[in-house]
Each structure stands twice: as C-alpha cells, then as structure tokens.
Structure 1
Amino acid sequence: MMPDLPLDQVRTLLAVVDEGTFDAAAAALHVTPSAVSQRVKALEQRTGRVLLRRTKPVRPTESGAVLVRYARQLARLERDTRRELGLSGAGEPARVSVAVNADSLATWFFGALTQVTGLCFELHREDEGHTAELLREGLVMAAVTTAPEPVPGCSVRPLGRLRYLPAAAPEFAARLPEGPLAQALYEVPVVTFDLKDRLQDGFVRSLGGTGAGTLRHRIPTSEGFLQAVVAGLGWGLIPEPQALPLLADGRLVPLAPDVWVDVALYWQQWKLDSPALAALAEAVTETAAGALRR
C-alpha cells in the first residue's frame, strides 16, 4: 500500500460507497460513525480532492471512483493471495462482478459462464454503450462493451460483432405504408429497449431517414423485446441468433434483407494478476469466437 494512501482509509471509503451511508459503513466496519467520517476526511485531505457526494445514498465523485476502483482491486488481490496461500477463508468461492448487455446475456454470454467452475458471478445488466462506465466507477471488474479504448487501469480485447436484423411480424410488415422504407418506418410503431437504445434510430438514418418514429414501445428485456416484435407491437432490430429461427419459420419477416447493423463488442477487465479474471476472460473470448461474427 502506498504510504500516502493508508489502507484503512481506502477501505473505509469503499465501505461508505458500498453501504450507502456513513452509519451503515460504520456498522459494517465495526467502528463509530465518527471514525468513518474522520478517515474519509483524512483521505480527502491527503489527496486534495473531494471524494464523496454527501447524497443519499452516498456517491463517489470522479476522483472518488478512481480510489474505489483501486480499493476493489486491492480486495481482489488480497482474496486471491489468501486462496493461493490456503489461509482462513480461502475455501470461499471467488466472486467476479461483470457488466454485460441484455442481448449478449440472451444469446451467448451464459455459455462462457458455464465453462468456468469455482466462481460466483455478480452480473450487472447495462446497455453495451454504458457498461464501461461501471468499470470506470469501480463497480465491476470486467465488462462486455462497445468501447475499444481501455478504461484507465483496464485491458481490452475484441470479441467480435453481434449482428442485428431489421424484422417485424408478417401482419405488421404487410401494413407498412408504401414508399421509401425509411419514411415507412418513421410512420409506424417501433420497439426499443429503453431510453438509451438508439439502435433503431441509427438503422433508419442509414437508410436516409431522420430516425425511427415517435410511436415507441419500451420493452427493457431482450426476451420481452423479441416477444413484442413477434406479437406485432412494432418493428425492431433483432440479434441474429434470435432472429434466424423465427425468420425461418415465418413468425418474422425481414424488412431489408440486404441491410443489417453490426455492433462490435469488446471485453475489458482490470489489469490484475487474478486467476479468476484470467479464467473468465479466456472463457468469454472462446465463447464469443464461436457465437459472434469476426
């Protein structure tokens, strides 16, 4: 531990962020709330930065997030070291926190998890364009993301491309207005995942339009999104592994057979010599190689 960042102060900062309040952190650490407050203030004085937003729950500032990530990495290294030395608590399974997008969860990611034994997983579902932020905040150890540039303190490797196919139920497609597809799609309902989902808008813009229409159904699960499109609530971009069998049996029809959207995915993880992270990274990379397009 660096002498100017005392371990007890860094651990206390992490406890406050994880528990949400100074009182709850004090209970978790078996110290008084006053001691927690003094440690955080001392760490802020040492770094010359405000580390916490005194909200409910407490949230780290940008500088605080850097130290929180550092604290989690130290905890990970400590657990790995204890396990290798066979010390007390070494028999507990290693826990790995990962941020992953819903479509990867629904199509290929669980295949990677089944290849790794002896680990417990804590999955954070988030849009692939925002999973890197959870890494940056120190909330997860690894993430499936669309960010090719590594988060500070992390390594990155390409996984492949998840292809999305524009599709709709046959009855819905038959009611599309005549004329250019971009204009037709603007005039009819579209299914989106949530407010962060701009995939459908980008597809319509690639056809020369201004984006998808304002009649939007927000379905925040991959399975529910698919069911909504199959039911005819609107059109949407469906991950290829989900779309192909439904296109084959006629429950979906392609809206533009020669046009699709490819989303490049990357694996980012902490730069730690951690056997648990290394094993998971290899499993994810191997599974992605067989499931995603190169």
Structure 2
Amino acid sequence: MLDYAALSVVAAVLREGTFERAAAVLHISPSAVSQRVRALEERLGAILVLRSQPCQPTPLGQRLCAHFDAVRLLEADLAPDLGALAADRLQPVTVKIAVNSDSLASWLAPALAQFAQETGLLVELIMDDEAHTAQRLRHGEVAAAITSDNVPVQGCRSIRLGVLPYRACASPAFMARYFPSGVTADGLIDAPYMRFDRRDGLQALWAMEHLGAPLGHLVHWIPSTRAFLDLALRGMAWGMQPEHLVRSHLAAGSLVELRPDSALGVTLYWTVARLHADALKVLTRAVRRAAGLVLQP
C-alpha cells in the first residue's frame, strides 16, 4: 500500500519546485519535507525527486504523482457524502490540463470558468504546442489535453472537437510596404513574419500550401497569442491568426489577409484520461460545448 501522506509531500515538492516552497504550502518545516520524501524513497528503493533547481521528477516519481492526482480526483467525488469531514480531511483538488495558447485565447476560457463554477475544483494549465500536448498525457503530467494529435493515448479517450481556422494576416501598411503588387513567393522571402516558438510551423505550412514556396529568415519570435495579434495590427510582421480573434479586424480593415479566403485549418481533439471521476465528465461537457460555439465541424 502506498503512503499517500508522504506521496502528497512529493507531489508538493514537484509542483512548487523547491523543498522550501513545498514546506510553506504544507505548513511544515523544510527538514520535515526532506525527511518524508527521503523516507518514501527509501521504502520504495528508488529516487522520486531530482534535487535540481527547480526539482524534477524521475520517471517513477512522475508516474506516482500522476496516480496521486487520479486518486485525488476520485476522492473529490466523495466530498458530498463526507460532509463536514471533507472540509477537514480533503485538500483542494487541482485538475491539470495541457492546452495550446490559441485555444485558450479564442474559445476555451468559458469552458474552464464553467467547470470551476460547477465543481469548485482548481485548474492548472500546462501550455504547449497543440501538436505536442498529447505527449504531456503520455508522460502522466496532465489528466486531459487539447491536441491536434489524433494518435490514441493509452488509458485515454479522444473526442474530435472541430477545426480551428487560421488566417494569414497583416496590417494594410505592412501589405503596402512588402506586397505592393500582391503576395508572391519572391516577396514572401523578404517579408518579416512571426512564429510562436520553434515548434510553430503554421506560417511555413501556409506558404507552401498556397504559394508553393519556403519562407525567408526574417522571423520575430512571439510566444503570446495576444502579442501575435497586437504586433500584426501595428504592422511589425505577418502571421497566422485564429479566425475567431481577427474576424472583427478583417471586417474593419485594420487587418487584411495575405491571400483572400486562404484559411488553414487545424483539427483539434479533446483527449482525456479514462478515469471514472465526475470532474472529468463535467470538464468534458464544458469543453465540447465551448468548442461547438467556435470551431468549425
């Protein structure tokens, strides 16, 4: 039988990043945190926490923390039956979800707010590219993910949410400066563009699909959906924008498409652990409802 009290301390260390911050959250001394972690490691005969800055889990530590999170979700279902005892004995439960920035900015927020209001549970968002969020599930870091990866994840079920369309956009001033005679493959080489991070290939994919050409090397690295839009409006560069966020700007003329009606669609899936926890059922319903209002079939 696992020592769940000790495992909760391990989880706190890995969540907070240091023994000192875990001690402050748990209202015990750092030495007590260290002793409990070491005692559990000695009992299991394996290291669970790498003492780095910040602390990192070993593969076994990651698996045990994922198991602990699953147990906490199941415990949350018992809270109504436990009554006052739940308030005294059960700690706040946090649901970890891997999401991409564009979904969070364009359609996911209402679902998260609804989930928190209905369940009273907490949420921790792990940000990553939509092509890589499923890996967070495979590694046991999260209970669910918004992903473009439709490859099955063991122990999870995947639900198709719909298509998030992107538009290649720039300001009118940018278009006049770099594409006075229209967007061409040669002109694209000399035009600055934005990428969210090294994993963001949407701009290159659009260029190859619609112009059959590669991009140049004038790249601004902008790891923020909001800044992506703001900087496009200010004429700094062009980039792929979620259609839901730029629809009003396109209508007003403050942004224009590089090529009209050249949307690029990314199909999104909701991949969630097959855990019989009411919280995940509520979360799934909220996510599907919010996706249905914005994503294309």
Residues 73 and 279, structure 2, Cα contact 8 Å, conserved in 1: no
Q: Does 1:173 align with 2:175?
A: yes
Instruction: Kindly state the Cα deviation for residue 161 of structure 1 after the two structures are TM-superposed.
Output: 0.8
Residue of structure 2 in register with 1:37 after alignment: 38
TM-score by length of 1: 0.84
TM-score by length of 2: 0.84
CA-to-aligned-CA distance 1:170-207 (integer Å, 9 cap, x gap): 12112335687333222210022233322112222323
Q: Does 1:237 align with 2:237?
A: no
| Aligned CA distance change for structure 1 residues 149 and 87 (closer, same or farther; 3 Å) | farther
Please tell me the root mean square deviation across aligned C-alpha atoms, in Å.
2.8
Residues 79 and 90, structure 1, Cα contact 8 Å, conserved in 2: no
Residue of structure 2 in register with 1:102 after alignment: 101
Q: Provide structure 2 residue ranges, at least 5 long, that are not aligned to the other structure.
A: none
Q: Which has the higher helix share?
A: 2
Residue of structure 1 in register with 2:82 after alignment: 85
| Aligned CA distance change for structure 1 residues 271 and 187 (closer, same or farther; 3 Å) | same
Residues 26 and 36, structure 1, Cα contact 8 Å, conserved in 2: no
Residues 191 and 228, structure 1, Cα contact 8 Å, conserved in 2: no
CA-to-aligned-CA distance 1:126-158 (integer Å, 9 cap, x gap): 322232333344443322112223433332211
Cα distance in 2 for residues equivalent to 1:288 and 1:279: 14
| Aligned CA distance change for structure 1 residues 110 and 18 (closer, same or farther; 3 Å) | closer
Residues 3 and 40, structure 2, Cα contact 8 Å, conserved in 1: no
| Aligned CA distance change for structure 1 residues 87 and 77 (closer, same or farther; 3 Å) | farther
Tell me which moved more, 172-181 or 65-74. Answer: 172-181
Residue of structure 2 in register with 1:126 after alignment: 128
CA-to-aligned-CA distance 1:100-140 (integer Å, 9 cap, x gap): 22211221112223434233433333322232333344443
Residue of structure 2 in register with 1:254 after alignment: 257
Match of 1:108, SS? helix
- May I ask how many residue pairs the two structures share in their alignment? 286
Cα distance in 1 for residues equivalent to 2:95 and 2:125: 8
Structure 1 segments, 4+ long, off by >6 Å, are: none
Instruction: Kindly state the Cα deviation for residue 21 of structure 1 after the two structures are TM-superposed.
Output: 4.0
Instruction: Kindly state the Cα deviation for residue 86 of structure 1 after the two structures are TM-superposed.
Output: 2.1
Cα distance in 2 for residues equivalent to 1:103 and 1:227: 14
Letter of the aligned partner of 1:61 in structure 2?
A: T
Cα distance in 1 for residues equivalent to 2:178 and 2:276: 55
Match of 1:56, SS? coil
CA-to-aligned-CA distance 1:4-59 (integer Å, 9 cap, x gap): x454554443233224345665673854623421311332x3xxx65443322221
Tell me which moved more, 61-70 or 30-39. Answer: 30-39
Residues 150 and 156, structure 1, Cα contact 8 Å, conserved in 2: yes
Instruction: Kindly state the Cα deviation for residue 164 of structure 1 after the two structures are TM-superposed.
Output: 0.4
Tell me which moved more, 178-187 or 258-267. Answer: 178-187
Q: Provide structure 1 residue ranges, at least 5 long, that are not aligned to the other structure.
A: none
Tell me which moved more, 274-283 or 23-32. Answer: 23-32
Cα distance in 1 for residues equivalent to 2:171 and 2:183: 19
Cα distance in 1 for residues equivalent to 2:36 and 2:183: 67
Match of 2:151, SS? coil
Residue of structure 1 in register with 2:212 after alignment: 208
Q: Does 1:18 align with 2:8?
A: no
Aligned counterpart for 2:155 among listed residues 127, 137, 153: 153
Residue of structure 2 in register with 1:225 after alignment: 228
